[in-house]
Amino acid sequence: MSGIYIHIPFCERKCIYCDFYSIEKLGWIDSFVDSVLREIEIFKKESDFTETSCFDTIYFGGGTPSLLKVSQVEKILNSLYKNFQISPNAEVTIEANPGTVDKEKLFSFKEVGINRLSFGVQSFF
Structure pTM?
0.91
Whether 11 and 61 have beta carbons less than 8 Å apart is answered as: no
What is the share, in percent, of the chain residues with pLDDT greater than 70? 93
| pLDDT value at 125 more than 60 | no
Q: Express each pLDDT in 63-98 by its tens digit.
A: 999 999 999 999 999 999 999 999 999 999 999 988
- Examine the pLDDT at 58 and tell me if it is beyond 80: yes
Q: Are the C-beta atoms of 113 and 92 separated by less than 8 Å? A: yes
What pLDDT band is residue 110 in, cutting at 50, 70 and 90?
Answer: very high
Q: Rg for the chain (alpha carbons), in Å? A: 15
